[in-house]
Every structure is written in structure tokens, then in C-alpha cells.
A and B are shown apart, each in its own frame.
Chain A
Amino acid sequence: MIACQTELDCLYCGRPTVHTVFYASLYIKRIVCHRCAHAVEKPAAVLLRQYCRDLPWRATALARRLKHEAQADPLLFVSSLPRRVVNKPIELSRELAEVCL
């Protein structure tokens, strides 16, 4: 899970404080204030719905990207395929775990 630290205004502390923003896949999952520990969290069901809704769009974008890569450099594209075929399902299952857990 990717986590980014930044400064945001905390409504409970009443001033700008350091927050950690946790991402699951491309989506914000949780934002925590370092000072008061107040957390804004997206329910797993909402996150999962968001993730599933975007999957077809992501698949289309991936197909388009692969097509461009194949046209630009066929040799490089073919050589990268085995690694990608193995890695993509791993990546998807990791994302799904982040979203659900």
C-alpha cells in the first residue's frame, strides 16, 4: 500500500498538521492526522465498488497501450510479454487485497 505524507488542515486540531494518505490501488483508502490521530476512512465496500467499476476502463486502456507498444517496437514488446503475463495477475491480486483488507 502506498502512503504519502503531506500537510492538510485538520478540522479537529483547527490548524494545518501532517497527514498520511494511504492509497489502495489508485484510490484513497484512509487519511490520518498525525497530531490527533483522527482518521477519515473509506469503507471497503465503497472502495471495492470503485475498483470494480474502473476495471473495464483500465483493461481498455491497457489494450490500447499494448497496441501502441507493439506497433512502436515489436521485438521489445514480444520480449516483455512473458514477464508481463506473469506479473499482471500478481499485481491485480495485490491490488484486490489492498482494496478489500
Chain B
Amino acid sequence: MHKISNVHKGETVFDQRSAARHVVAVVLAAGQGRRMGLPINKIFLPIHGKPVIIYTLEAFERCPVIDEVMLVAAAGEEEQLAKLTQAAHCQKVRRIVQGGPTRHASEQCALEALRPRIESGEIDLILIHDGARPFVLPERIQQLVETAHACGGAILAMPLQEEELIVEVDEQQAICRRFAGQRAWRAQTPQAFRAAWLLAAYDRARQDQFEGTDTAASLERLGYPVAVVESDQSNLKITTAYDLLQAERLCRHRGL
């Protein structure tokens, strides 16, 4: 049985789940907005009156294999996020930590906060997810967790369309490698890994001053196996104006 403090009520609660299978989802919500002195981080933008980040958190709330959620917030946004999660009754959000200037640095902040529990063997699996991907399906999260339990690491990804092609170019802008549709996949989040592997990979990345574009990159470079779980376009990341409109349509389609 593990003692966990509850961020909303200042209470202490006891988690009675099995210690060996404790799964923590880290949601990265430290966007660029506030860092640029803008009024709103895009995770706070409302879609049908509800902030993007709440849709994201609700997916984890509805997923039975997730025991706890840790939110990584931009400096100065912790309180606003705590109020929002409390109002939305996000029971699994136990802690909000301050992130760093980059995605990699924010992940490192979360891992530092979880380090004692990872080293004691309390946490089995950690999922890293972008706060701006509000429509990940709980079934997909479950599938991802099962695969990560079996393989050690797993990410959601979507195959390119058959007619799509990705090419790798050299310094002279000449094609040196090509990946046809169905063989090249577009990585998404959540990405799930054994907690001890993740911590070791990020400690090593810090030593080597390596910054990956996603979480899996830090593990792949050390030879840890990372499996792929097929996802689809609905797990979109809100980055453009069109994504925002698409998110609104998806919201209606799913009845959220």
C-alpha cells in the first residue's frame, strides 16, 4: 500500500493497487504560450466550452489501467491547472510539477519528481503524453500499456498513407534514403516505458547532453526495444488553426 498526497484537497490517500503494476501517466502541458509572454497556452483554449487539457486528462481518467496522472505545467500555470483539474473532477491527477524550457527538459523534471518512487520499485510503467493531444482513446492507452508491459517500451504511431513517401536528404539536399507508405510510421503519444529504463535513459541523455525529439529517441539510442501500437489520425496534436477546427469536429463526432 502506498501513501500518495492528493494535490486537490491537501489530503493523504492510500493507493491499494498492486505495487508491481503501478502505472503513471505524465502529461506535458508546459506549452510555449506563457514562455512568450502570451495570455494563453493552447492547452487552455476552450473547445465547446471545455479546455483542451481537460479532454486529454479525461481520456486517462476513463482508462482503468492508469493509476495516477502527473501534470507538467509551465512556470506560473500550476495553480491555474490545479483549479481546472479540481473543477473537472480529475481524480487521478495527484501532482503538478513545473516543466522546463523544452519537451525533453520537462520530461526530465517529471522523472526527477518521480525518481524516489522509481528507484524504490513502486512505479512499474510511465507513459509520456502531449497535453495538446486531447483525443487519444482509452482503449488505445490500454493496448499501449499491455504492449509496454510485454516489451518494455511501446509508442502509438500511425502508418503513412500508401501514396505518401518520406525521404532522407544529405547535406547537398540529395535523397539518400526513401521510406514508402506502410513502412514509415508517424510517431504519436502516449509513449510508455518501464520506469527504470526511462530513468536510466534520461540520466544517460543528461550525461551525453542528448535531447531527443520524442521520449522514445532517448531509449532507442541505448538499444532498448520500443514496439509500435497502431493508432489513427483522430489522435491529433493541436498545432495549427486547422487542427483546432478538426478538434472541434472530433469533439462533436465523439459526443464529448
Closest A residue to B39 by CB, please name it.
Answer: A5
Q: Is the CB of B242 within 8 A of A11?
A: yes
Question: Which of A4, A9, A10, A23 makes the CB contact (< 8 A) with B40?
Answer: A4
A66 within 8 A of B: no
Q: What does the 1/0 interface line of A1-38 toward B look like (CB < 8 Å)?
A: 00011111111000010110101001110010100000
| Residues from chain B with Cβ under 8 Å of A19 in the complex | 241
If the complex has contacts A4-B45, A27-B48, A31-B241, are A16 and B32 also in contact, measured as CB distance less than 8 A?
yes
**Closest-CB distance, B45 to chain A (whole angstroms):** 6
Q: Is the CB of B45 within 8 A of A40?
A: no
Q: What does the 1/0 interface line of B73-107 toward A look like (CB < 8 Å)?
A: 00000000000000000000000000000000000
| Residues from chain A with Cβ under 8 Å of B239 in the complex | 8-9
If the complex has contacts A11-B240, A26-B48, are A40 and B245 also in contact, measured as CB distance less than 8 A?
yes
Q: Taking each of B41, B48, B241, which has the highest tally of chain A beta carbons within 10 Å of its own beta carbon?
A: B241
**Closest-CB distance, A85 to chain B (whole angstroms):** 23
Chain A, interface SS category: strand
B46 within 8 A of A: yes
Q: Is the CB of A21 within 8 A of B45?
A: yes
Number of residue pairs across A and B with beta carbons under 8 Å?
A: 59
Size class of the B contact interface (CB-based, 8 Å): 20 to 34
**Closest-CB distance, B23 to chain A (whole angstroms):** 31
Q: Is the CB of A42 within 8 A of B33?
A: no
B232 within 8 A of A: no
> Would you list which residues of chain B between 18 and 74 have a CB under 8 Å from chain A?
31-33, 36, 38-42, 45-49
B109 within 8 A of A: no
Q: Is the CB of B244 within 8 A of A8?
A: yes
B15 within 8 A of A: no
If the complex has contacts A6-B42, A7-B36, A8-B42, are A40 and B242 also in contact, measured as CB distance less than 8 A?
yes
| Residues from chain A with Cβ under 8 Å of B240 in the complex | 8-11
Q: What does the 1/0 interface line of A50-67 toward B look like (CB < 8 Å)?
A: 100000000000000000
Expressed in whole angstroms, the Cα–Cα distance for A8 and B241 within the complex equals 7
Expressed in whole angstroms, the Cα–Cα distance for A11 and B32 within the complex equals 18
| Residues from chain B with Cβ under 8 Å of A9 in the complex | 239-240
| Residues from chain A with Cβ under 8 Å of B244 in the complex | 8, 21, 28, 31
Q: Is the CB of A28 within 8 A of B248?
A: yes
| Residues from chain A with Cβ under 8 Å of B42 in the complex | 6-8
| Residues from chain B with Cβ under 8 Å of A27 in the complex | 48, 248
Expressed in whole angstroms, the Cα–Cα distance for A8 and B31 within the complex equals 11
Q: Is the CB of A23 within 8 A of B32?
A: no
Expressed in whole angstroms, the Cα–Cα distance for A78 and B215 within the complex equals 55
| Residues from chain B with Cβ under 8 Å of A31 in the complex | 241, 244-245
Nearest 8 pairs between A and B by C-beta? A31-B241, A26-B49, A40-B241, A9-B239, A6-B42, A6-B40, A9-B240, A4-B40
- Can you name 9 extra interface pairs (CB under 8 A) apart from A27-B48, A42-B245? A4-B39, A4-B40, A4-B45, A6-B41, A7-B32, A19-B241, A21-B45, A21-B244, A40-B245
Chain A interface residues (CB < 8 Å from chain B): 4-11, 16, 18-19, 21, 23, 26-28, 31, 33, 40, 42, 50
